[in-house]
Amino acid sequence: MNSEIDVIGVGGAGGFLASSLYQGGMRPRIISRGTALLQLQEVGLTIISDDKRSIYSPINCSALDDVQQFAPIVLLTTKSYDIPALLEEVAPRIAADTLLITVQNGFAAYDNVSSMFGSTRSIMGVLYIGAHIVSPGVIDVKPGVAQFFLPTTHHAALEPLVNALETGGVEAALVDDIERRMWMKQYSSSLWNCDARRRSSSKPGSSRTF
């Protein structure tokens, strides 16, 4: 089945974005492996939020090894440290006009894509969502505002994606300050991590080594 968009990875970010696109009327193809792929094929994609369970089935999915050609837009949602090896694997099957979107925190994943495919085909997305894997193909999404920002470059190609996400309940937009927004996200994350460490170290029985 041909798709306008591929989502590589079905972790917290990938599962959330794929389910939101489904809600918005766009049927992405989820590309995965192993137990997660088997779960998608046999049960579907399961999203848990507010103790409510939604199952998206049948799901358009495929094994990474079986993909002959990728969609015009590819969302890379794996961990940043997996991106270099993933790019090496998929590069021969990526068409010359395919756009690759990174959603990882920080600039490393985007820089890897840009280095291999060029800056004109590399797109940095900034995603705000609290989601984690409960089990393969089962994602828990924290209630609250979900946001996804993309740059205004390639407006015509990205607008249908943004519109589908907005219809699916995500606050999505094309912005002209994507790098600033990524820096802001990194800064907020660092503050949260510092506060979490501070609270952890202040608990009774905790110790700190310098």
Predicted TM-score (pTM) above 0.85? yes
**172: three-class secondary structure by DSSP:** strand
Question: Can you give the pLDDT at residue 144?
Answer: 85
The residues spanned by each domain of the chain are 5-176
CATH of domain 5-176: 3.40.50.720
Type of residue numbered 48: I
Question: Can you give the pLDDT at residue 203?
Answer: 53
Q: Beta 61-63 vs 73-76: how paired, if at all?
A: unpaired
Q: Rounded to whole angstroms, how far apart are CA atoms 15 and 105?
A: 16
Q: Rounded to whole angstroms, how far apart are CA atoms 28 and 25?
A: 10
Task: Please count the CA atoms within 13 angstroms of the CA of 51 that sit on its side-chain side.
Answer: 0
**86: three-class secondary structure by DSSP:** helix
Question: Can you give the pLDDT at residue 202?
Answer: 53
Question: Can you give the pLDDT at residue 210?
Answer: 26
Run means of pLDDT, 10 residues per run, the chain, 210 residues: 87 96 96 96 96 94 95 96 96 95 95 96 95 96 92 95 96 96 82 53 44
